[in-house]
A and B are shown apart, each in its own frame.
Chain A
Amino acid sequence: MTNRARNVYLVPYLLWMALFIVIPIALIVYDSFFDVEGQFTLGNYGKFLTPIYLRMTASSIWYALLITVFSLLVAYPAAYALTRMKHKQLWLLLLILPSWVNLLLKVYAFLGIFGTYGFVNGVLETLGIGRHQILFTDFSFVFVSVYIFIPFMILPIYNALEDLSPSLVFAARDLGASAWTTFRRVVFPLTLDGVKAGCQAVFIPALSLFMITRLVAGNRVITLGTAIEQHFLVTQDWGMGAAIAVFLILAMVVIMIVTGKRQKGGAR
């Protein structure tokens, strides 16, 4: 293929990038320098540094971290087991199937499942434990978010495990490594890229969750996503919403750079 032909093939992609990624981000940055009355200002960033927004940032990061850690704890063993299954493709399909259902529907379902008179409390009561408040707690928020994000964590880890040559594991075992040592010294380091990709795919969107915070956490968990939604839809203070969005974009860039660097120095 000539260079020229290759460039022609790139055109649709470049156009797509420009139209839906570069221009929107430029617009967000531009908007973030204007106040509600359309005057140029740096005040939005100043406001972001006040205690309300800093606390909100801290709580967003904390919950995103919890969600990522629990997703990883569930996803890694699941992906590992998956590679050893007989009908891998079928199991994988079953794991991914829930992501075909609309997000809002899945979240709404939890209102019924976790409600005071819902399914879980019904089971707890028959077991003699009694009814507890599950809906609108930190637990339900993290649980539902983990449920939503798990496919995004499993897939990259599964792919990394699949790429791992089984002969490496056999070699480690032949040379006398225990199963745990094999996992710790061979399997895990070699699938670290998958883990990182999965963590990025979970942590970054988890920072800006907003719908689950209202439906499942009853707005008792406030993230930056909630604030952005309010500023754009209710107060129409687009500048402030955009300033928060710019902060999120910067945070993501930092995360990408940090996890990217380790890749070069570490596993490879």
Chain B
Amino acid sequence: MKELVRLFLAVLVVAFGLMYAVSALNKSQGYSGANTLTVYNWGDYIDPALISEFEKETGIKVIYQTFDSNEAMMTKIAQGGTTFDVSIPSEYAISKMKADNLLLPLDHAKLPNLKYIDPRYLDLDFDPGNAYSIPYFWGTVGIVYNPELVGDLKFDSWQDLWDPSLKNNILLVDSAREVIGMGLNSLGYSLNDRNEDHLQEALRKLKTLTPNVKALVGDEIKMLLANEEAAVGLVWSGDASEIMDENDKLDYVIPKEGSNLWFDNMVIPKTARNIEGAHRFINFMLDPKHAARNAEYVGYATPNAEAMKYLPEEIASDERFYPKPEITDKLEVYANLGKKMLSHYNELFLEFKMHKK
């Protein structure tokens, strides 16, 4: 018992000692609440060199924290324990955070570099007038495939997924909006369709796909496709670029019937303390040269029109990630369906998953 008490005391002493040391160090370097900036971002989603540059340029110390899902991020911000100054949610999360009053409005006067963003990516449904968010990266949903294993299929149409030669050879991402959306798109409907007949038709169509579906998985899909566990996968373009970095045999394509267009956006959550610094950070990231370097590092598509000029030719002209207007015109952003409809989408998705081969 005595030893146990001694052990606990030792742990407490060490913990407080470390806390004191950290605060003393921060003070000696002149860092305090006013000139630190906590950035809350997806893992591996920024060029670290840009952070050091920002620190040097502004004298603000950046504390970088990461999350792995919009839901986890929203929960943490809603709890409000940590002072996150900048965060980067996806567009559907922004509608939700707006509704829950988790975001602070942006002061566009402090973001002069906003003018470099391609107007196609501004003033979208999820945030009219960009009152709360600025696009950071964008991407699509499409098909990753191994040309050596699929014969003549090119996947320029979703219909190719139903080809009998792909029996048990497709991996789908385990996400209701993407899979039901693909079913709707393959029939020529919008992926935000609320018409019950269209949804049921999509479900029937998806059920006929089950013989080809090997599995529906989460983040593991990247590893599984890179290891050639299956020849074809339905994935987000960001994941596709990572998969293709791992295994350069694979290719990515956006079918012509249309698909999803998604955005990750910089916002200032209501937990922010250093609002001035947050605006400076966002403006810094909007600088075309910085945005280009970031896009080169991360491998996602930048919405910054001016930055395209600074990107290496082979990236800027890669139509898989910067598709031509014929394709982009067909892409749709997910509308906020409301909880009831979203719940219905998920029920249809469950029914699809339960359909046995």
Contacts and interface: CB of A to CB of B under 8 A. Distances in A.
Partners in one complex: yes
A229 B118 CA distance: 38
A37 B174 contact: no
A222 B214 contact: no
A81 interface: no
Contacts of A37: 339-340
Interface stretch (B130-138, B217-225, B234-242): B217-225
A36 B350 contact: no
A218 B354 contact: no
B127 interface: no
Contacts of A55: 354
B229 A234 contact: no
A53 B228 CA distance: 34
Given A37-B340, A214-B217, A230-B350, A111 B228 contact: no
B350 A111 contact: no
B340 to A, nearest CB: 6
Given A37-B340, A234-B176, A218 B217 contact: yes
A266 B73 CA distance: 53
A117 B227 contact: yes
B353 interface: yes
A226 B168 CA distance: 22
A121 B304 CA distance: 47
B351 interface: yes
A122 to B, nearest CB: 13
B347 A133 contact: no
B214 A218 contact: yes
Given A214-B218, A220-B215, A116 B339 contact: no
Interface in A110-144: 111, 115-117, 133, 135-136
A237 B339 contact: yes
B229 A219 contact: no
Interface string A201-218: 000000000000011011
A222 B339 contact: no
Contacts of A237: 339, 343, 346
A214 B229 contact: no
Nearest to B346: A235
B343 to A, nearest CB: 5
Contact of B343 (A36, A111, A117, A135): A36
A240 interface: yes
A133 B168 CA distance: 9
Of the listed residues A214, A220, A222, A237, the one surrounded by the most CB atoms of chain B closer than 10 A to its CB is A220
A222 B343 contact: no
B339 A240 contact: no
Interface in A169-200: none
A236 interface: yes
A56 B214 contact: no
Interface in B130-173: 168, 171
Contacts of B340: 36-37
Chain A facing B: main interface SS: loop
A258 interface: no
Interface residues of B, number: 27
Contact of B227 (A115, A218, A220): A115
Contacts of B228: 116-117
Interface in A222-251: 222, 226-227, 230-231, 233-237, 240
B339 A233 contact: no
A43 B171 CA distance: 34
B354 A235 contact: no
A135 B229 contact: yes
Contacts of B218: 214-215
A29 B168 CA distance: 41
Contacts of A101: none
Contacts of A214: 174, 216-218
A52 interface: yes
A59 B176 CA distance: 21
Interface in B199-215: 214-215
Contacts of B229: 115-117, 135
Contacts of B175: 234
B123 interface: no
Contacts of A227: 350
Contacts of A136: 214-215
A115 B354 CA distance: 23
Given A52-B351, A52-B354, A235 B216 contact: no
A136 B172 CA distance: 13
Given A36-B339, A116-B229, A219-B216, A52 B223 contact: no
A116 B214 CA distance: 12
Contacts of A116: 227-229
Given A55-B354, A56-B354, 20 more contacts: A52-B350, A52-B351, A52-B354, A108-B220, A111-B224, A115-B229, A117-B228, A117-B229, A133-B214, A214-B216, A215-B218, A218-B171, A219-B215, A230-B350, A235-B176, A235-B339, A235-B342, A235-B343, A236-B342, A240-B343
8 contacts: A52-B350, A52-B351, A136-B215, A219-B216, A234-B175, A236-B342, A237-B339, A237-B346
Q: Across the A-B interface, give the 10 residue pairs with the lowest CB-CB distance, nearest first.
A: A218-B215, A219-B216, A36-B339, A136-B215, A235-B343, A235-B346, A237-B343, A222-B354, A219-B353, A116-B229
